[in-house]
Amino acid sequence: MSKVYCDKCLQEIKIRDDLVTSTLAFEVVPYHEDCYDKDLKGAKTFFLSNKPLNGFSGNFSFILAIILAIGWLLFASDTTK
């Protein structure tokens, strides 16, 4: 398993439960849980997604997007005739 380093404090994240991933523009960024809380209060808040990718909210958003995509494929009208 490769080592993961926090984007804020640049230290290795040794405990898996302490890892929080978020998106910064188009890049996935790893944080310690405490560093993530501190970084949200800084200037990066404008570009940093306020919800982490891993966890309930990220999983729920992903499942909802999949359901909407399948529904759109099933119920969208055919525009090519």
In this structure, the strands spanning 27-32 and 19-24 are antiparallel
Strand partners, 29: 22
- Answer whether 53's CB lies under 8 Å from 23's CB: yes
What pLDDT is attached to residue 67? 94
pTM to 2 decimal places:
0.54
pLDDT tens figures, 8-64? 888 898 888 888 887 776 778 888 888 887 766 655 555 555 566 677 777 888 899
The pLDDT assigned to 68 comes to 93
Contact 21, 28 (CB under 8 A): yes
Q: Whole-angstrom Cα distance, residue 64 to residue 46?
A: 25
